[in-house]
Amino acid sequence: MHDCSLFQNISAIETMGTITTICTEKTGTLTSHEMKVTKFCIGEQVLTRDISIIGPKTLSLLHQAVGLNSTSSVYHLSSTSQPQFFGNPSERAMLYWATSELGMSMKNLKQFYTILHVEAFNANKQESGVLLREKNWADSFDHVHWKGPAEMILPMCSRYYTTYGISKLINRQTRRRFEETIQGMAAHPLRCIAFAHKRTKGEQAIGKRGFTLLALVGLKETCWPGVRMAVEDCRFAGVDVKMITGDNIFTAKAIATECGILRVDQDFLGTVLGGQEFSYYPIEQRMEMVDQIRVIAGSSPSAKFEMGTELAKESSEIVILDDNFTSIATILQCGRCIYNNARNFLQFQLTLIIVTLVVNCVTSVFTYKISISPIQVLWESLIVDTLGALALATEHPTKEQMVKGPVSPEEPLITKIMWRNLISQALFQIVLLLLLQFKGQSIFHVDECVNDTLIFNTSILCHLFNLFNSRNLEKKNVFEGIQDNRLFLWIAGIIVSMQVLMVELLNRFAGTERLDWRLWADSVGMAAMSWLIAFAVKCLPMPNGIKALKHPFFILNSFVTRRKESAHMVRV
């Protein structure tokens, strides 16, 4: 929750450590939900904050177009309070701009105009329209306003308004200049929204012909702070980031470049595709292209994940509470840490089990008794296993875990590196404990009961020292970063304290004898040799068992898909 991540299925975080591709929506994930009008064009003229050059007719039409053809609303809590805007980000931004810079009053608009018909926002075409009639006016003509992406609205227009409200014909040269303006906005990147208007008489529905272009508005989407670094971290970790957006291809390129998904010097051929173009390819060809693709623009809502809907939240196993891509990158790092910690504990646990099993079996065969009693084995399980699992599970994510790349599904759970560490430590402990079993009395000049206690004490300390070895499967320095995990140090101290209590005070319960300081020093010295063995073994060259898939297709957004012979899906 501190990282703005709600896990409705805790095992999903492990899957996050194995994903190789993240497909993400743009709005709200790479960019924040806040937008702002930064460019404004009437006709062929780019305007600034000075609206004195806009004629009253054009200004009135702009007020109608922005204020009444909108699903957002404006509320005033009091006459002196600032207005509050509600609705989707782009609608809020345009209402704020019209209210603060164009002098629009929603109260006046609703007093003077009646809405006759509404063409609601179409998610597929992203357009909306409204049919208006002015109240108490003898003119029998009505006003039709249409709004949407500029590249869709411009073909509907045969004329355009100047700042003084004069209607002029759009010829071939003028249309080309408008198209260049739209592309220029998209390349900066701005979301270019066009407003079109026409007067009609007696229409009951809103057509799409004979419109006059009223204005072009450029909306700026700001990227989340740190999103570029998060994308770089994902790429550094061997995870491809792909962006899917409904914006046109120019805006999509610009946003993807700003976020670091595309490089400035990158050849866009094959890496940026339109959603409709991509849908035309057969499924086999899509799978061949998917590794190269970085951006899919102009996608319909059915082709991407609807962020923030209740249905999406209920069907997801991970919910990103702030819709921020940096939170996804954090989960990815935590997922790899959890997977790595599980492997560390598995190596530690298997070593403990193998040593206990072999030593007891060999001892019982040759001496007809068990050197480590059932009470001591239970103590070992309760103290070393339980606390050891907690200690290894609390290791924090590191940059080194991200360098290795995603874990391949074909890779065995126990890697070659784990087998190397496990076998070396198990052999050392088995040899040491059997040596104490058969030669300990003569070496340390003690009786059988003290020798059994020495074996038990040395076994526990060997597992404790191996706990430090298991913090990292490959690093030679077992103490690196240990100061960042105080819980690990506390657990190690608790294990030592409990073992001293078991040996020195709970003799009757544990069946142990007290050890003098020399035998304690001998136990610590013998157990500490596991650090030297771990260092020597890790110096041996060995291929890394953790490799990324060559042709993966793990998708994070509406789901995480593992493309194998059988589909494995986890919704996130």
Each residue's pLDDT tens digit, 434-466: 999 999 999 999 998 899 899 999 999 999 999
Mean pLDDT of 89-98: 88
- Kindly give, in sequence order, each residue whose CB lies less than 8 Å from that of residue 178, ignoring residues fewer than 6 positions away: 44, 154, 160, 170, 213, 216
Contact by Cβ (8 Å): 142, 203: yes
Tens of pLDDT, residue by residue over 179-210, are 999 988 888 888 899 999 998 886 666 777 88
Tens of pLDDT, residue by residue over 520-538, are 999 999 999 999 999 999 8
Tens of pLDDT, residue by residue over 287-329, are 888 888 888 888 776 666 755 566 777 778 888 887 778 888 8
Q: H or E stretch including 241?
A: strand 240-244
Task: Kindly write down the DSSP assignment for every residue of 172-191, as one continuous string.
Answer: HHHHHHHHHHHHHHHTTT-E
Tens of pLDDT, residue by residue over 410-437, are 778 888 889 999 999 999 999 999 999 9
Tens of pLDDT, residue by residue over 218-258, are 988 878 888 888 888 888 888 889 988 888 788 888 888 88
Structure tokens given for 478 = 């077992």
- Kindly tell me if the per-residue pLDDT of 501 is higher than 70: yes
Mean pLDDT, the chain, integer:
83
Structure tokens given for 512 = 């142990």
Task: Kindly write down the DSSP assignment for every residue of 100-132, as one continuous string.
Answer: HHS---HHHHHHHEEEEEEEEEETTTTEEEEEE
Instruction: Give CA–CA dist 23/241, Å, rounded.
Output: 6
Confidence of residue 333 (pLDDT cuts 50, 70, 90): confident
Tens of pLDDT, residue by residue over 9-60, are 877 887 888 888 888 888 778 887 788 898 999 988 888 767 788 889 999 9
Task: Give the pLDDT confidence score for residue 444 in this predicted structure.
Answer: 92
Task: Give the pLDDT confidence score for residue 71 in this predicted structure.
Answer: 82
Confidence of residue 546 (pLDDT cuts 50, 70, 90): very low
Task: Give the pLDDT confidence score for residue 307 in this predicted structure.
Answer: 55
Nearest C-alpha neighbor of 527 from the set 434, 387, 432, 421? 432
- Kindly tell me if the per-residue pLDDT of 155 is higher than 50: yes
Q: H or E stretch including 387?
A: helix 386-393
Task: Give the pLDDT confidence score for residue 563 in this predicted structure.
Answer: 32
- Kindly tell me if the per-residue pLDDT of 5 is higher than 50: yes
- Kindly tell me if the per-residue pLDDT of 161 is higher than 90: yes
Task: Give the pLDDT confidence score for residue 301 in this predicted structure.
Answer: 66
Q: What is the CA radius of gyration of the chain?
A: 35
Of 79 and 112, the one with more pLDDT:
112
**pLDDT > 70 fraction of the chain, expressed in percent and rounded:** 89
Task: Give the pLDDT confidence score for residue 205 in this predicted structure.
Answer: 62
